[in-house]
Structure 1
Amino acid sequence: MTWAECSMDKIAIAILNFNGSGFLKKFLPSVIENSPEATIYVIDNKSTDDSVEVLLAQFPAVNAILLDSNGGYSQGYNEGLKQIEAEYYVLLNSDVEVTPNWLQPIITMMDADETIAAAQPKILSYHEKDSFEYAGAGGGFIDTLGYPFCRGRLFLSLEKDEGQYDDVHRIFWATGACMFVRAKHFKQHGPLDEDFFAHMEEIDLCWRLNNAGLKVMYNGHSAVYHVGGGTLHKSNPRKTYLNFRNGLALLYKNYLRWELWIKLPIRLMLDIVACIKFMLFDSFSDGLAVLKAHYHFLLDLPSNYKKRKRINQRVVGGEYAPIYRKSVVLEYFIKQRKKYRELTPDSSNTR
């Protein structure tokens, strides 16, 4: 069901909501105030709180798309975006505070280069506004074993924002917390993988965009503030499960065959090391979540094999290779390099 008329927008901001009434009250006013050039949509994932009532009563200018079930981040956006016609989609988490002129730098950049398929702004912490936020920070990358990291964030180490990433830079993935994507490329290379439910589906999409020869960009002249953990806290075993299961599916779907045979066993071994560490020193429940993730990854192999066959795997390279061809695990845990700029330079990657 939609309360919006079907018309072609230049920019459509799509906010996915599930039981986020408090976030809508707190953050939607900043989106409305600072986005006069955009049409705003809230896609509700069958909330059981008063989200819909709040939306219709307090924000009548916002277009509501009401879904019949909660299929997670991926299905929610896939279904909601089918009802939105626009040149650019901006996928925005409900727990994000936007700033004045946050849209224009990125839209201007994308208008000037048709090969840019997706982009993100600088993602700062809502609670510590001088620090980068976990989900996206200064732009996302993956290492040779498929571990995601960001400029401004390696694993749980977050950098202070001192202007070091106030630039425009090609990246490997743009965060789903605030992701600008050209609608025609989303339709051509999407949708988001609904089996992921939540977490890493944006990396999976961006991998396909990179494989198609398209660019994913970061623009530090735009900034937003993200609460983070609005749906699942970072210490939640459910989040651990999704990250480990989806991380393996991500690699299985997208690696070249020779990479898969060499690197997937290494990744599986490192996951087991992480599992043991969780159980002995951190959270036994998180350790069990890793084992559950591996079990379901094996059960899902037939389905993921069919997806893999449909994807055009190729070496992402050329003048710029957005995959870091070293191990960020080795750099961080063994060499104790806690900041992006401390990583050993990758000769295949202009950083």
Structure 2
Amino acid sequence: MKTAVVILNWNGKKLLEEFIPSVVEFSQSADIYVIDNNSDDDSEEFLKSNYPQIKIIRNEDNFGYAKGYNEGIKKILSSYSKPDIFCLLNSDVMVSENWLEPIEKLFESNSEIAVAQPKILDYKNPTQFEYAGAGGGFIDNFGYPYCRGRVFWDLEEDKGQFDDTIQTFWASGACFFIRTEDFMNSGGFDEGFFAHMEEIDLCWRINNSGRKVFYCGESKVYHLGGGTLKNSNPKKTYLNFRNSLWMLVKNLPAWKAFPFVFLRLSLDGITGIVFLFYEGFPHFWAVIDSHFGFYKRLFHYRTNRKPGIKNYYTKKLIPFQYFVLKRKYYKDLK
């Protein structure tokens, strides 16, 4: 089974200097590509001088995460040999020895698996799970994502409790393995999202098509997080809230989509008030503005829906359990 490790870069020379060495050292069996989103630093020169074995794919503009990967992967498939699996890896991820083998074996063991992710730990605190993906992703029926090892902002210590291999709902875009055929058949990432939540949307569409998403705890990587947009950036709040609403419209059955979206809009209003007091006015406005952004393309997503019938999401209202019932750990969610 042939794997291509693909890293999306935009003005990230410092991140490449820090994290590329582990990728090169521990990915001997894979082809490594860097898709450059039209950087204006000297990222490309750094790679050419120090890692000539890495193939560089250059996009014409900063297309963001979704279109950046879509365009880059098209160029890879048109110019190089077709891999069985793509690993879409953030530029701020350090990989570990033998990180690829367990994932490749997992894909080989079950042809129904389309997407997988490894255990994702915190680069700065290696004994703790990292926000983006942790021990495998799930979603509640109002579109709030959560992970084993991470519920909202509470992160668990890795004590081996998620060293298993299980089916999940979504895989993290920080380290996202997908069969090439499934990526192309699904249409790739939704480019309207630009960045954030697009991997959950893609996984939801994968689930709706009858394919499977898995987590493999035998493989582990370490994610810095916030390498492009810091958690404190209001733009990240805007994208997460807007894209989450689009995702519900796209993927929920019709009889659920619109009542649930209305309730989610109401819950967002409450969240915005909380943000006003705890995060400040810019984040409050980002939530409000995300709703205007949502309405701008509501008709487009309403007419291009491909919902599934089976309920893959859980009925746990995560905000209520977390903020009201004070359940901070995955094992405590009812």
Same fold by TM-score greater than 0.5? yes
Where structure 1 has 5 or more consecutive residues not aligned to the other structure, the ranges are 1-8, 345-351
Q: Does 1:180 align with 2:195?
A: no
SS at match of 1:332: helix
1:252 to 244, 249, 252: 249
SS at match of 2:246: helix
- Percent identical pairs in the alignment equals 50
User: Using the alignment, how far apart are the partners of 2:289 and 2:238 within structure 1?
Assistant: 7
User: Using the alignment, how far apart are the partners of 1:282 and 1:188 within structure 2?
Assistant: 40
TM-score normalized by the length of structure 1? 0.92
Who is 1:4 aligned against? none
Q: After the TM superposition, which parts of structure 1 deviate over 4 Å for at least 4 consecutive aligned residues?
A: none
User: Using the alignment, how far apart are the partners of 1:305 and 1:74 within structure 2?
Assistant: 20
2:317 to 316, 327, 334: 327
TM-score normalized by the length of structure 2? 0.97
Output the aligned Cα RMSD: 1.0
Who is 1:339 aligned against? 329
User: Using the alignment, how far apart are the partners of 2:275 and 2:292 within structure 1?
Assistant: 17
Amino acid of the residue matched to residue 268 of structure 1? L
Deviation of residue 261 (structure 1)? 2.6
User: Using the alignment, how far apart are the partners of 1:176 and 1:274 within structure 2?
Assistant: 25
Amino acid of the residue matched to residue 219 of structure 2? S
SS at match of 1:239: helix
2:22 to 24, 27, 30: 30
Deviation of residue 305 (structure 1)? 2.1
Who is 2:309 aligned against? 315
Query: How many residue pairs end up in the alignment?
Result: 329
SS at match of 2:167: strand
SS at match of 2:84: strand
User: Using the alignment, how far apart are the partners of 2:86 and 2:45 within structure 1?
Assistant: 25
User: Using the alignment, how far apart are the partners of 1:145 and 1:327 within structure 2?
Assistant: 7
Deviation of residue 135 (structure 1)? 0.4
User: Using the alignment, how far apart are the partners of 1:281 and 1:220 within structure 2?
Assistant: 35
Deviation of residue 56 (structure 1)? 1.0
Who is 1:15 aligned against? 7
Who is 1:118 aligned against? 115
Q: Does 1:83 align with 2:75?
A: yes
Deviation of residue 265 (structure 1)? 1.2
**Residues 190-243 of structure 1: per-residue CA shift (max 9 Å, x gap):** 220111000000000000110111110000000000000000011110000000
Deviation of residue 316 (structure 1)? 2.6
User: Using the alignment, how far apart are the partners of 2:72 and 2:204 within structure 1?
Assistant: 22
Structure 2 contact 249–258 (Cα < 8 Å) conserved: no
SS at match of 1:323: coil
Structure 1 contact 316–323 (Cα < 8 Å) conserved: no
Deviation of residue 280 (structure 1)? 2.8
Who is 1:45 aligned against? 37
